[in-house]
Amino acid sequence: MITDEIVVVTGVTSGIGLACARQLIEQGNKVVGIGRRQERLHILGDELGGNFLPLSCDVRDLQKLQEKLASLPAEFAGVSKLINNAGLLQGQGSLLEVSDEQVATMLDTNVHGLLAVTRALLPRLIDSGRGHIVNLSSIAAHYHYAGGHVYAASKAFVEHFGQCLRTELVGKRVRLTNVAPGKTRSEFTLVQHAGDQARANQAYSNITPLEPEDVAEAVLWALRQPVHVNINSIELMPADQQLSYR
């Protein structure tokens, strides 16, 4: 069990990020939850109580993000863990069928946002003496598929960035783990299909997907390992999903 830690979770308002926040607080930790949807953050604040600090911010808004993280209240300032969960897939079809705006949104969120949060918090993680970064990647980073192009490449960046950063952190008492889930039931597909719930549901029609809680348990397992143990990577997928993204 991981307890008495202060953990920053991005993309906290739904899916894996929300499942991580709930489990962390149940185990006696404090969570700084970053999300875009202010109304949902307020609801979460009521649910999770005083150990949850909601930060309404889009990870793509670098200036606002840095300002908010730099001014955390004293009781949440000693951040020792970071879960880089915010990420999305927009558009479908070939590279030429995806709009410039969708490409920019994926890269700004999955790549630039993750970089910004990590850079802003890394000094605190080092100072804590027990830092740990968990990057939520995807099996799309490992297995190529038609239509993957920008999204899959952005997750490959997350994986390689994490592996390279890990080499810089040796001796600094900050561990790093990449977690790559397969198909997981969440609002991820709803975002991909621009809010079309019927099409989003179709993504799970022939498979029993992972639940966000399944992935959260893998994340917390990595976090609770002894400080001399670094879990480099975890890949998990539904038992009935083939060894490919689709």
Q: Catalytic amino acids?
A: 151
Q: How far apart are CA 222 and CA 224, in angstroms?
A: 6
From first CA to last CA, the distance across the chain in angstroms is 34
Determine contact, residues 125/80, Cβ cutoff 8 Å: yes
Strands (E), 5-104: 6-10, 30-35, 52-56, 81-84
Q: How far apart are CA 211 and CA 234, in angstroms?
A: 16
Q: How far apart are CA 71 and CA 77, in angstroms?
A: 8
Kindly tell me the burial class for residue 94, based on how many C-beta atoms sit within 10 Å of its own C-beta (0-12, 13-18, 19 or more). exposed
Q: How far apart are CA 136 and CA 117, in angstroms?
A: 13
